[in-house]
Amino acid sequence: MTKSTSFGRVLRPEFYLEDGYVPLNHGSFGACPQSIYTTYRHYQEESEKHPDRFLKREVFKDLEKNRDSLAELVQCNSQEVAFVVNASYGINSVLRSGFLKPGDKVLCFSTAYNAVERTMVFLQDAHQSRLVTVELKYPMLDQEILDLTRQTIERELAKDPDVPVRIAVFDAISSVPGVRFPFEAMIKLVREYNILSLVDGAHAIGQIPLNLKEADPDFFVSNLHKWAFCPRGSAFLYVPKRNQGLIHPSVINYAYQGEKTQNAAATFEAEFAWPGTVNFSSFLCINAALDFRKSLGGEEIIQKYCNDLARQGGKLVADTLGTEVLENCDKTLTVAMTNIRLPFENKRNLSDAKIINTLIDKCIYEHNTICSPYKHNDKWFIRLSAQVYNDLNDFEYFAKEIEQILKELDE
């Protein structure tokens, strides 16, 4: 497959995006190229032509080929990778597998994705887990985050030396704010205290390079449908062999042999391979998605373009609004998502929910664009995503439109 390596609006026809729409929210739902949807529909049709042949035999061979390519990209053993429908499913599979005992502490961060935060509250309510939350107020240096975490762990151990902090849950790249988290260093830090690490890498694959063997998390999950161009409903869970005996999928199938099985890790692959009769087509598009990315120049070139554009576009919008981008002095926070403070005074004393919904509705229905608005540290921000089909013209258009929206919101 050969394509031009020109990025920006010239690539827009490769996707199904509407004419005139200025898409700056790739981080929420992704966007799948048309050529990959051709592969997606092919597998759907194959499953209908001869359901038994496809679902009993052929699908597993094709899944293995795609899993091998994925493992090569993220640099790990393919037998340590399982497909899941999204990051939330993977995180629930880990946290609700039953290895947490009543009273065990779970270390988490105030910037956790809302569904992940709610999952941990469920653990607290249903299984008597004790949540220890580290409050993050960006912009922060990576070292400040690590120091604050160490202080929190030390305080908890001093307070309750007999109550273990069993697992730490943290992002690779947070959702809001959309910033890179020092997850590699955090994995090492919590391991010093014999704390398991669960990394929510929902935004990671396709946005940053991954070497899971080197990073060595205890668990890692990432969506393939966000930044890797796969159809929605595709993600992966990485579990090194040392931990596979701890984990079971959220949907238990025929392969479960019980917690007292001598070699529970032996069933890991089988337990995740068959979540019941589902549409496997999204997972079968990984090779097509990786081929598409290679045709654009490969991971390094794609990631550099998106990172550079996010930084330039964020500055353009911030300069237009007279504010600033959420960034630290080491410039480690911004990857392919940029966070811009809004000069919003809320003169009408609107609720947070009203502000968020009004901003989204006005962007979509009146200005044909989109952003992710949120409140952090008592200030209002928007998160904008940079993708290969974007260029600075998109950010320039958005800057003018958001200025008008904010005026209307404060009138």
- pLDDT one-digit tens code per residue, 65-121: 999 999 999 999 999 999 999 999 999 999 999 899 999 999 999 999 999 999 999
- Per-residue model confidence as pLDDT tens digits over 177-231: 999 999 999 999 999 999 999 999 999 999 999 999 999 999 999 999 999 999 9
Where residue 287 falls among pLDDT bands split at 50, 70, 90?
very high
Q: Is the pTM of this model over 0.75?
A: yes
Where residue 41 falls among pLDDT bands split at 50, 70, 90?
very high
Nearest alpha-carbon partner for 254 in 223, 230, 277, 234 = 277
Nearest alpha-carbon partner for 88 in 252, 204, 223, 184 = 223
Instruction: Over range 164-178, report the average pLDDT.
Output: 97
pLDDT recorded at residue 411: 80
Residue 264 has pLDDT above 80, yes or no: no
Nearest alpha-carbon partner for 162 in 218, 101, 119 = 101
Sign of the C-alpha dihedral, residues 272, 40, 387, 341?
A: negative
Mean pLDDT of the chain: 95
CB atoms within 10 A of CB 3: 13
Residue 35 has pLDDT above 90, yes or no: yes
pLDDT recorded at residue 4: 46
Instruction: Over range 261-282, report the average pLDDT.
Output: 86
- Contact in structure between 319 and 311 (CB atoms under 8 Å): no
- Whole-angstrom distance, CA of residue 207 vs CA of residue 148: 26
- Per-residue model confidence as pLDDT tens digits over 136-164: 999 999 999 999 999 999 999 999 999 99
Residue 3 has pLDDT above 70, yes or no: no
pLDDT recorded at residue 261: 60
- Whole-angstrom distance, CA of residue 202 vs CA of residue 217: 14
pLDDT recorded at residue 265: 65
pLDDT recorded at residue 266: 78
pLDDT recorded at residue 262: 59
pLDDT recorded at residue 5: 64
- Per-residue model confidence as pLDDT tens digits over 345-379: 899 999 999 999 999 999 999 999 999 999 999 99
Place of tokens 């068959």: 274
247-286 per-residue burial string, b: 16 or more CB within 10 A, e: under 16: bbbbeeeebeeeeeeeebbebbbebbbbbeeeebbbbbbb
Percent of the chain with pLDDT over 90: 94
Nearest alpha-carbon partner for 219 in 245, 193, 180 = 245
- Tokens for 33, please give them: 């190229």
